[in-house]
Amino acid sequence: MPSADQIRTVVEQYVKLVGAGATEEIVNLYAPDAVVEDPIGTEPRHGHQAIREFYQILEPLEKETELLTTRIGGNVAAFWFRLSTKAGEQTMNLAPIDIMEFDEDAKITSMKAVWSAEDLELV
């Protein structure tokens, strides 16, 4: 099982990379057979190619992220972070709670994001 420090490092990298739009680096944090459900209730994306397609949507956007809090228990992390994207004069803020499971190599095997359209804030 990965240590809490290893998991925390991956979570911090993940949030930073989402803000940077670094799709390939994000995909490399995942195990090859990982599953992403973002948001919960949508069709899960299985494997690197489907996960890559998901994050590529964010890549060209002007955005920034901030990790707000993290909790780790065993091989699971739950964390709350803020994602702000800008389109022209409009800013969209979203602060999902992500739940990730990790394998023994500290690769993400599962990610579920808890949020809904009601959580989007337009500024």
* Residues involved in catalysis: 14, 38
Residues shown for the chain: 123
Report the candidate in 18, 9, 102 with the shortest Cα–Cα distance to residue 61. 18
> Looking at the DSSP assignment, which residues form a beta bridge with residue 86?
62, 91
d(CA 71, CA 52) in angstroms, rounded, equals 26
Three-state DSSP state, 57: coil
